[in-house]
Amino acid sequence: MAIDINNLPIGEIPPEIAQAFGNFLNVEGRIKFPLKKTATSAVSTSAETPDSDALQADKDVDGLINSVDELEDLVEQLEDMSDQLTRDMNIPVDPNNKGLLKAVQRLGGENSITMEVFNTASAIIEHAAIVTFRRDPILDALIGDGHVDGPWMECSQITAAASDLFKLRPGGGGSVPEEPVLPKNEEILDDFEDNLLEMILHIILMLWWNMIWPKFLVDLAIINPARKIVAIPIDSLLLLFRSIEWKDKHYRIFKKKPTELLTGTPENKYKDAKGPLNKLLNRLRGILLCNVPPKLWNKKDYDPIVEIDCTDVEDGCPKSKQVEEGEGPAGLASDDNGIDAGGPGIDVLADDLCITSDDFIEGVDTTVPEGLGMSPECLKAASRVILAVEDTSYSAKQANANDPTLQTNLGVQVRENFGV
Amino acid sequence: MHKNDYGYVSGAVLFLPAIRKMRAHVEYEKFLCRVLKDDETTRKFKQKTEKLTNKLYAFRYNNEKSVKLTAAGRPNGPKSTTTKS
């Protein structure tokens, strides 16, 4: 049966190839055999096992190896064919589409999406988990240790060859474990928590990098139910910053005590009751609560942990009550550590709720980290380019759907060239 | 093959994720084979992985620890098929 490439859904393997692949990869039947009593006991307890079983195990192993060898041949041919069909890709980018244009340039292109740009975008997506979390789960499963070190990379550096820059972190288990996978659950969970926190911090950093949230919030806040969905996470984020146990590795991201981000510096706590992060979050709240017609907003649905007076709004920035001189900041900034259980009395805000990205950056170390990592902008650019290519591919498919001369039959080529 | 106005075959791009999944699967299978047996074919597996454009697989399966693992074999594995050459 021929395969009409115009009907291929993304990510699904055509039935013919899947069948061929399945024949080669009868995983269940083949993977089981090394675990069978015959296979293992043939070596360790040969007295209990007939020689014929050992011979059968050897045959099974040889059969597996041959199957995998043939399978790799098939994949290589598919890859070669794919390269031939896509290598001349050149999708011009509309100069008015500045977002996409910037994404392409960030990935090393100029004003069109070439295959090199697309491959870079794909590599960024593929490497994103390792570069972000500095850990590869497959390595973890194989050798019991997946810690990865490497340099900070620009978007255009993250190609398919980027892994050449990776190194297994020295000292993270120097020898091969006796068991393929060691029970390191607690350690892995701790690392996971750390990495999760680090990821959250990077997300916060992204706030002032491109300030997309305010626009996103305004867009979302048009729909009343969406406001609650957006508002509650903002409060949760604030509470998270107050509750997490900060470690040295997290300070390197902000180079400022997280409590100061929330409450301002201790020496200025009465004058500058709130830190820049607090201001930013409160500005988001202000946009959310004040820039939307009040009639659409049922306050019973959402009880903000900080009250905002929307009656005094200037340029979209709500003004707050002034802190009386000599009076300590209440609520969130109630102690030197900025840690407070919340509760009643949280109604005092800094005098200026409006904050720019420059304000937020002030005092924050923006130098590029030395360790393995990339800008979150890379991921955004890569996603944008891939979506653009897929969208273009689908559009081209639709335009050509009724033109029989443009039908491309991948199945025929696979069958003819590879005998599948 | 007919290419679109942008110089490529649309369906081939849409098929790329599936091909990449196949490659990832094959590389894992090759590593399993290397753990099970050390012969000419499995040594060829390692060399081919090394030559791939996508170096991620070489990083995963040809790093020092992984290679030691294939050489040593698994403690409960079929040692008769994991002898070093």
Q: What percent of chain A has pLDDT over 90?
A: 14
pTM of the model: 0.56
Nearest chain B alpha carbon to A167: B59
Would the CB atoms of B8 and A89 count as touching at under 8 Å? Answer: yes
Nearest to A160 among B29, B53, B76 (CB): B53
Candidates A131, A276, A289; CA nearest to A211 is A276
Start-end of H helices in A244-372: 248-254, 258-263, 276-290, 357-361
Strands A313-314 and A167-168: unpaired
Confidence check: pLDDT of A351 > 60 = no
* Tens digit of each residue's pLDDT (9 = 90 or more) over A68-121: 898 898 889 889 888 989 999 999 999 988 889 999 999 999 999 999 999 999
* Tens digit of each residue's pLDDT (9 = 90 or more) over A245-296: 666 655 555 555 555 555 555 554 434 445 556 566 666 666 666 665 555 5
Q: What's the confidence (pLDDT) of residue A338?
A: 33
Would the CB atoms of A40 and B36 count as touching at under 8 Å? Answer: no
Collect all residues of chain B within an 8 Å Cβ-Cβ radius of residue A61: 33, 36-37, 78, 81
Question: Is the CA virtual torsion A181, A161, B9, A416 positive or negative?
Answer: negative
Distance CA B7, CA A237 (A): 46
* Tens digit of each residue's pLDDT (9 = 90 or more) over B65-80: 888 878 755 444 434 3
Candidates B37, B36, B32; CA nearest to B49 is B32
Distance CA A138, CA B68 (A): 16
Q: What string of pLDDT tens digits covers the 85 residues of chain B?
A: 578 889 998 888 888 888 898 899 899 889 988 888 888 999 999 999 999 999 999 999 999 888 887 875 544 443 433 333 3
3-state secondary structure of A90: strand
Collect all residues of chain B within an 8 Å Cβ-Cβ radius of residue A397: 10-11, 14
Would the CB atoms of A5 and B15 count as touching at under 8 Å? Answer: yes
